[in-house]
Chains A and B, each alone.
Chain A
């Protein structure tokens, strides 16, 4: 169906098809369409594994994975692994975000900090985090400190760069207005620059959230005795394939929930911004 026909139909309610017919014809526009696609893929998985078309050893039936997952949830085993993982992730993430915002504000606002920190940022930022993991282990061992440091360090850069861009794009008229009302220095940074840069900061925080999840799993796979990353890898090593899949499934759910939570918070905090940008576009 072409968009223009659809638009015409909505403009002429009198001649529009009955509601139920419309609903059916528009199902591909709803979220359920994509959810249905996932269900279809899972069904194909089930069929492929059940028919023996793929080796069941490394590819258990989907229903078996689900059952194992449920047993691990009920027994508390998965949650027991998830709690230390999430604690490390959030500890590192919040440290990284706080530092990223602080450094981004300083670099955007004070030329001194920009000149001082821009080169080192550009040197450190491109290093993939797994590459410096061995170094960090040398200094911090293999406990939580190491993981939190890894997660914080990797989360820092997206936030820093976006905060910096946000500060640079503050409307100079807003800054001047604040100055005429006697707001200068740190007050200006806090009252005008920070809220004005907030949409950029949130963009950075969202990128960092995904990064934090990745680095959490990697660091737990390399060196840990607990956590979801450790759980997945040791399940694979012990040929507990269903448990391995259950662990990955858990991560998918965690990632999804975290992102939804993030979007909900962002929508609340930045409600002004969405209205503002819509109005600017008109």
Chain B
């Protein structure tokens, strides 16, 4: 694991409250995180604990009520250029009037000074990486949920940002496709030296992918567990998942989640 010195992405004292008709909700109640450049951090936690809110604050889409986010020392106020956020609501984040091809090219056309040919080539490359070759001319609404999710992933990856924020990006795909996408994201992470923050419900996925897993507690959420994952790279879907360390990390995180939910942890250890 890279051992760089100064924090790359840093969250300090993040609190977020939402005013709603029924009263105010405290979504995040003082979250502090220092994320190193090149790390792969998974965020887990029960539904509604504030994971998406946290990611959107990092993406500069929501302003925290108090606290601040900095990237390389610069305060985030508005979406930073080097950060891409993949929405949990992937269906709604695709543009229905654009074909798959045009959706995937969207980021490239707007972020980078690339020639038309370079954009077309990169678009094609990422469409094939998410296994959607042949669907370039389809509209998003002509695709299944899982295929739409892969379009959103390809659109984000094609931009090769410094920081990739992914909010439950594999929620709608089958187990095999999910393995393929996990490997894709991991290989791009390693090749391009991305910093990834990855929200998931799946503890196994979090441990397998990450260099660090952060669990948020019950709302109002703070960081409940912050666990470095020191499994060797490269990882392997079968061998890594059979390592005793892997099982140990998994067990500790599950025990924590079960305790949060008030469930007996006997089955997990």
Q: Do A and B come from one complex?
A: yes
Interface, chain A (partner B; CB < 8 A)? 171, 173-174, 176-183, 187, 191-192, 195-196, 198, 272-273, 275-276, 279-280
Q: How far is the CA of A85 from the CA of B83 in the complex (A)?
A: 56
Residues of B within 8 A of A180 (CB): 59, 61, 79, 83-85
**B79 near A275: Cβ-Cβ < 8 Å:** no
**A181 near B106: Cβ-Cβ < 8 Å:** yes
**A196 near B97: Cβ-Cβ < 8 Å:** yes
Given contacts A276-B139, A276-B141, 17 further A-B contacts (CB under 8 A): A176-B93, A177-B87, A177-B95, A180-B61, A180-B83, A180-B85, A182-B107, A182-B110, A183-B110, A195-B95, A195-B97, A196-B95, A198-B97, A272-B96, A272-B141, A273-B97, A279-B141
Q: How far is the CA of A192 from the CA of B92 in the complex (A)?
A: 13
Residues of A within 8 A of B78 (CB): 179
Q: How far is the CA of A174 from the CA of B61 in the complex (A)?
A: 12
A-B contacts, CB under 8 A, total:
59
Q: Which of B83, B92, B159 contacts A174 (CB 8 A)?
A: B92
Would you list 28 pairs from A and B whose C-beta atoms are within 8 A, ordered by A residue? A173-B87, A173-B89, A173-B93, A174-B93, A174-B95, A176-B93, A177-B93, A177-B95, A179-B61, A179-B78, A180-B79, A181-B84, A181-B107, A181-B111, A182-B107, A182-B111, A183-B110, A192-B95, A196-B97, A198-B97, A272-B96, A272-B141, A273-B96, A275-B141, A276-B96, A276-B141, A279-B141, A280-B141
Residues of B within 8 A of A273 (CB): 96-97
Residues of B within 8 A of A171 (CB): 92
B81 part of interface (Cβ distance < 8 Å): yes
Closest to B143 in A: A279
Residues of B within 8 A of A176 (CB): 61, 87, 93
Q: How far is the CA of A187 from the CA of B109 in the complex (A)?
A: 12
B142 part of interface (Cβ distance < 8 Å): yes
Residues of B within 8 A of A183 (CB): 110
Residues of B within 8 A of A192 (CB): 95
Interface, chain B (partner A; CB < 8 A)? 59, 61, 78-79, 81, 83-85, 87, 89, 92-93, 95-97, 106-107, 110-111, 139, 141-142, 159
Residues of B within 8 A of A198 (CB): 97
Residues of B within 8 A of A187 (CB): 110
Minimum CB–CB distance for A173 against chain B, Å: 4
Q: How far is the CA of A20 from the CA of B85 in the complex (A)?
A: 59
Q: Among A171, A176, A275, find the residue whose CB has the most chain B CB atoms closer than 10 A.
A: A176
Closest to B59 in A: A180
Minimum CB–CB distance for A231 against chain B, Å: 43
Minimum CB–CB distance for A195 against chain B, Å: 5
The answer to whether residues A181 and B110 also contact, given A174-B95, A195-B95 and a CB cut-off of 8 A, is yes
Residues of B within 8 A of A178 (CB): 106
Shortest Cβ-Cβ A-B pairs, 5 listed: A279-B141, A173-B92, A276-B96, A177-B93, A181-B107
Residues of A within 8 A of B139 (CB): 272, 275-276
Minimum CB–CB distance for B66 against chain A, Å: 22
Q: How far is the CA of A21 from the CA of B132 in the complex (A)?
A: 47
Residues of B within 8 A of A181 (CB): 84, 106-107, 110-111, 159
Closest to A270 in B: B97
Closest to B140 in A: A276
Residues of B within 8 A of A276 (CB): 96, 139, 141
Minimum CB–CB distance for A266 against chain B, Å: 14
Q: How far is the CA of A176 from the CA of B78 in the complex (A)?
A: 10
Minimum CB–CB distance for A210 against chain B, Å: 26
Q: Among A179, A180, A182, A183, find the residue whose CB has the most chain B CB atoms closer than 10 A.
A: A180
Residues of A within 8 A of B110 (CB): 181-183, 187, 191
**B107 near A272: Cβ-Cβ < 8 Å:** no
Residues of A within 8 A of B84 (CB): 180-181
Q: How far is the CA of A192 from the CA of B94 in the complex (A)?
A: 11
Minimum CB–CB distance for A279 against chain B, Å: 4
